[in-house]
Structure 1
Amino acid sequence: MAPSTTPNVVFILVDNCGWGDFSCYGGTVPTPRIDSLAADGMRLNNYTVEAQCTPTRSAILTGRLPVRSGTTKVPLPGQGDSGLAPWEYTLAELCSDAGYATGAFGKWHLGETPGRLPTDQGFDEWFGIKNSSDEAGYSSYTRFGELGYPEPQWWEGVKDEPVTAAGVFDRQAKDLGDEKITARTVDFIRRHAEAQKPFFAYAALLQIHPPVGVHPDFKHTSGGGLYADCLTEIDFRVGEILDAINAAGIAQNTIVVFSSDNATSPLKCSDGGSNGPWRGDFFNPPFEGSYRVSALIRWPDHIPAGRQSQELLSAVDWLPTLAGLAGQSLRVPTDRPVDGVDAAEHLLGKQDTSGRDAVLYFGLDGRLMSVKWKNFKVVFRKSDAIGEPITDVQLPMVFNLIGDPGERFNLWEVSMDMGWVMRPVLEQIAQFQQSVAEYPNIATGEDFKGYTSPP
């Protein structure tokens, strides 16, 4: 059997790491393996995600704004069905339909009921947790045990079969979790490289989501405290995956993406974290410190090495962009609005621009928070802290992110001559509203069956 010329895709997603955490982004903890992705590929400096874990993962895997999919916020226990409707078409399904083997390893957080699990959404195999890693702390509370609910579990399964429990997921299991997730990812890569079959591996690591802990092998190894130890472990796990790709002899034919799902937060359970020069943190939407995170992509001999991009890119762009990089084998669906742009030509160095001029940011309630247009941010609503409400502003705030990355100077207060910026911003909003009128948004938990009459 001849080696496949279709590129493999390995997508490594870390949890709640800040834009400035990794040393290639100016962080103070050495992360040489992650830095190698920047050196050998492209560093995205203007990449943004969504407000929480669930919406970001939804955006990555569907190419659609989470407000369209009913995935605008993290579901709470007891709230009923949530996550991606079975109708949604994921990056895994797109790859599977093109003949790829697909595997998901780690955190899912896009539905915990049959029909909404990874093996129902295009993945041939899965090992991980259904929801979020904060569940690791549940069993440490006596009252939780008194409720009689089962302890959170690891899960595993294959397509077309029910998933099964694979061990208790408690604090100790969480600390050992990324070792297990990485080992499964490495085995998947090895198996399919040997079979010379193209594959999509989605490795969703647990670090550094609270409750914060670290594998014993990395405790007190960084010299910088627990958070720094976690960054050291992440770098090691990324290195294990890169080593597996190299050992299989497939580096030249494998696209590697590395990113975080959300920014870091100032929770007192950690002792570090940096969102770089950007204002705010995980709990301060819609400021840049809440949405802008690190993102790296490597594809040797295709994506020129050592480049950086200041172009706008968003989590919804991965599906069409990876399809564009892979060529005609991956076909983006046309029966629904796909919000992502295909930035493949930009990543390949063939085009200066990404094709994206604006990003719309929505809150957990599905309402618009802000619009970023080119280098300007227009804020309609904001939140100042985790315990504070999202509030409307008296007049839209306007910031120039090039000269003011900390969003300190509202240009309405400085000059009062920024009204012209509202025109392109309102045009972006109007285009979205027109799209929603044609393709109504899916409600959270809805068993959506599809649009009856495409326009």
Structure 2
Amino acid sequence: MDLKALLSLAFLVKALAVYTEREHPHIVFILADDLGYYDIGYHGSRIQTPVLDKLANQGIKLENYYVQPICTPTRSQLMSGRYQIHTGLQHKVIYPAQPLCLPTDEVTLAEKLREAGYATHMVGKWHLGHYQKSCLPTSRGFDTFFGFYNCAVGYYTYSKDTWFKGNESNQHVYGDDLWRNDVLVASKYKGKHKTRVLASEAQNIIMNHGKSRPLFLYLAFGAVHVPVQVPKKYEDMYRDIENKDRRQLLALTTLMDEAVGNVTAAMEEKGLWDDTILIFSSDNGAATSAGGSNWPLRGGKKAYFQGGIKVAGFVSSPLLPPHQHGSTNTELIHVSDWFPTLVRIAGGQLNGTKPLDGFDQWDTIRHNFPSPRKEILINIDPLSERDEYEETTHPWKNQNFDVYVNSGLIVGSWKLLTGHQDHAYWRSPPEIPSVQIQTFKFSQSKVLSLYNIESDPTEQVDLSECMPGVVYRMLEKLGAYNSSAVTPNFPDNDLEADPRRHGGAWGPWA
């Protein structure tokens, strides 16, 4: 390239940067719960999500975007920018009675944005631990919190039920879970739909926001997680779908879409939208047993297959370069990348954090530059279930990594899975009846599998036997990751958490 061409390219890059280098833009991060890859209009579903479709079509769709297969790990990596093997949250989610939370010595995204001068507000589902006050959102960088600490909180009751192990027997225990900062407010909102209540709270925050400070709003809907409950008028929009679970799931998604529209309308009414960057993401793939769909991807929630970890995500903003509006980005991006990316957008600093696993993806998103990320550690879970064939001889048993441990790794176009991999199915939504449901469990020969997710995005062809060199190199990488992992923290339930000891509420008890 000659000097003239180089100067022209430099001028173009500088000109494009004008659209996004405004100081301290407002940041709105919307996190859906269990929303499947297929369950958004722009992915070809018949679902009605006009607001999300419009935002995505005015922004940049992230089509090579990954999260974690379950709730707590995704939220922990969003807030910390660090893999769960480095925070001790490798195993399952945080349960209501566990004395466990995102380690309090982890610096959070909210803390960094507040340090950069932002007003920080959280509305919705926390699910990063609540056993002591130092674990709560307002102790982790948020100026205000309105929401719930657990998952699966009733949409009208604001009650969380769970099986709680008592002194003599297991008991089904209920507790209220809706808080304004540290005050229980569940009784005030009973009978009002949770999705609408959360959106209304977000609207109030926006309308009362003073323009002297930039705004960071983290809106974590409980939708579309079970128990799926939705007003009849939305369900009637899908009355032709016979499967009740699917019909209600689509209806709840449409209600959430409407709620997002109310929030963005408030941003426009307040005069904030033109200086706002909005990010939308799901926290994991759909629970297909509850009516969700990740079609045509394999697996679903809890799975290390694509259906559990590859989700709908996009960035929408008037600050994006005009030629990027409506574009698709296929660079590799992970949920942990939002930490350094948003801190950079905010004009903040990363000093004081532990070593991050996330990458600054802002140039990748706004200018479609190559992603600095070349691989994603899905997880290494040494507490995962081990099958009966554990002691049998496997060709990779004595290599760099224990292949009987549940793990997953993506490097470029290659994806390696080890251990007991459940949810190993392809399942079409009921509205596509011509496609047959296929299910099977891993057998002994499937304790290790290798897929080329570029040429085989639905993970149908295991290449581990014919590509031993790739397997060996990826096991070496897993071994290196494992050497940096901390011991999983997954304590037993604490009887002191019983909501009957705390006024009928799930809240801090330690």
Q: Distance in 2 between matches of 1:40 and 1:121?
A: 33
Alignment pair present for 1:112 and 2:134? no
Displacement of 1:219 in angstroms is 3.7
Give the equivalent residue in structure 2 for 1:421.
Answer: 470
Listed as ranges, the gaps of 5+ residues in structure 1 are 158-162, 447-455
Deviations 1:323-368 (A, max 9, x none): 2333xx21124541210011111111151x1111111111553755
The one-letter amino acid of 1:151's match is G
Mapping 1:311-390, distance limit 5 Å? 311-326=331-346, 329-349=347-367, 351=369, 353-362=370-379, 365=383, 369-385=407-423
1:84 to 99, 102, 105: 102
Give the equivalent residue in structure 2 for 1:449.
Answer: none
Q: For the Cα contact (< 8 Å) 1:31–1:235, is it kept in 2?
A: yes
Q: For the Cα contact (< 8 Å) 1:263–1:282, is it kept in 2?
A: yes
The one-letter amino acid of 2:449's match is M
Decide whether aligned partners of structure 1 residues 350 and 383 sit closer, same or farther in structure 2, where only a CA change above 3 A counts: closer
Give the equivalent residue in structure 1 for 2:223.
Answer: 207
Provide the aligned C-alpha RMSD in A.
3.1
Deviations 1:146-165 (A, max 9, x none): 969663231111xxxxx010
Q: Distance in 1 between matches of 2:273 and 2:213?
A: 14
Deviations 1:195-220 (A, max 9, x none): 33201101011111111111455342
Decide whether aligned partners of structure 1 residues 139 and 322 sit closer, same or farther in structure 2, where only a CA change above 3 A counts: closer
Alignment pair present for 1:177 and 2:194? yes
Deviations 1:71-120 (A, max 9, x none): 23212343x31121221111100111111001110111111121101111
Comparing 197-206 with 296-305, greater Cα deviation is found at: 296-305
- Please report the TM-score for the alignment, with normalisation by the length of structure 1: 0.84
Displacement of 1:441 in angstroms is 5.5
Give the equivalent residue in structure 2 for 1:28.
Answer: 46
Greater CA radius of gyration, 1 or 2?
2
Alignment pair present for 1:70 and 2:119? no
Alignment pair present for 1:15 and 2:15? no
2:277 to 242, 249, 255: 255
Q: For the Cα contact (< 8 Å) 1:49–1:56, is it kept in 2?
A: yes
Q: For the Cα contact (< 8 Å) 2:102–2:128, is it kept in 1?
A: yes
Q: For the Cα contact (< 8 Å) 1:383–1:391, is it kept in 2?
A: no
Decide whether aligned partners of structure 1 residues 428 and 24 sit closer, same or farther in structure 2, where only a CA change above 3 A counts: same
Q: SS at the partner of 2:315?
A: strand
Listed as ranges, the gaps of 5+ residues in structure 2 are 1-21, 242-246, 385-404, 425-439, 493-510
Give the equivalent residue in structure 2 for 1:397.
Answer: 449
Q: Distance in 2 between matches of 1:424 and 1:189?
A: 50
Q: Distance in 1 between matches of 2:173 and 2:287?
A: 30
Decide whether aligned partners of structure 1 residues 214 and 422 sit closer, same or farther in structure 2, where only a CA change above 3 A counts: same
The one-letter amino acid of 1:297's match is V
Query: Matched residue pairs, number?
Result: 419
1:307 to 318, 323, 327: 327
Decide whether aligned partners of structure 1 residues 200 and 409 sit closer, same or farther in structure 2, where only a CA change above 3 A counts: same
Give the equivalent residue in structure 1 for 2:176.
Answer: 152
Q: Distance in 2 between matches of 1:379 and 1:289?
A: 14
Mapping 1:30-45, distance limit 5 Å? 30-45=48-63
The one-letter amino acid of 1:429's match is L
Give the equivalent residue in structure 1 for 2:391.
Answer: none
Give the equivalent residue in structure 2 for 1:409.
Answer: 461
Q: For the Cα contact (< 8 Å) 1:381–1:393, is it kept in 2?
A: no
